[in-house]
Amino acid sequence: MHDPDTPVRPLEFTRLDPDVMASHARELFERMRSRRSVRDFSTDPVPRALIEAALATAHTAPSGANRQPWHFVAVSDPTVKAAIREAAEAEEREFYEGGRAPDEWLEALAPLGTGPSKPHLTDAPWLVVVFKEVHGVAADGSKITNYYVNESVGIACGLFIAAVHWMGLATLTHTPQPMRFLNRILDRPTHERPYILFPVGFPAADCRVPAIAKKPLDDVVTWVG
Ligand SMILES: Cc1cc2nc3c(=O)[nH]c(=O)nc-3n(C[C@H](O)[C@H](O)[C@H](O)COP(=O)(O)O)c2cc1C
């Protein structure tokens, strides 16, 4: 089971009372079901410590062969945020108005009311840019293979979204395509690829969200046994 050369230690695990388990399950679901993608942010500041806590939570994620193939850049500098907005809006104009998006994709986005203007990129007090590391780099400069990079970084992002929501903040999973401009603006190496751009902050007082719903659970779950 374990490589005898790999040190192990006892798992820290407390078996909870069944009632406590049920109440934790309910509480988390009730909290998470109120999460929405927010596209209108207040400019109110958010302490750096909260962003750090959300990043620490994301960094607890499992990853293929424990490679932890992610890098997070947390931006609050208004000049850098403005540069990101300008570059993202140029890409989004190509997407929405320049013919880059297939009609079918534009039709799928129509109910969300999204478009090329991205004020959240300067309104939100923080932009957290998640990079996926397509390979690692050893001290001697040689490549280290990473495994299940997309799955690993996706799980870390899910934990980040949950942490942000749990602490009473809002975010948006933003993926302007292509996102290579983020390497240039944030001075990240080419073996890191932008994965998701998360504005984080409080929703604007007049924030509206699309009136959409999740599919019924029965449509997406099959029980066996
Ligand atoms: C991988 C991924 C990429 C997304 N990219 C964008 C995006 O670029 N812009 C945007 O406005 N919303 C984006 N979204 C948000 C989705 O539109 C949103 O999650 C979906 O409509 C469901 O709404 P909810 O998050 O409020 O439940 C993205 C979501 C995911 C998971």
> What pLDDT, in 10s, does the model give residues 46-84?
999 999 999 999 999 999 999 999 999 999 999 999 999
**Does residue 173 have its Cβ closer than 6 Å to ligand 1?**
yes
**Does residue 165 have its Cβ closer than 6 Å to ligand 1?**
no
* Block residue for tokens 């388990």: 21
Instruction: Measure the CA–CA gap between 112 and 104, rounded to whole angstroms.
Output: 14
Beta strands in 68-212 (DSSP E): 70-75, 126-133, 135-137, 143-145, 170-171, 192-201
Distance from Cα 2 to the centre of ligand 1, integer Å: 40
User: Please, are residues 99 and 188 in contact by the beta-carbon 8 Å criterion?
Assistant: no
Distance from Cα 188 to the centre of ligand 1, integer Å: 25
pLDDT in tens, 140-183: 999 999 999 999 999 999 999 999 999 999 999 999 889 999 99
**Does residue 114 have its Cβ closer than 6 Å to ligand 1?**
yes
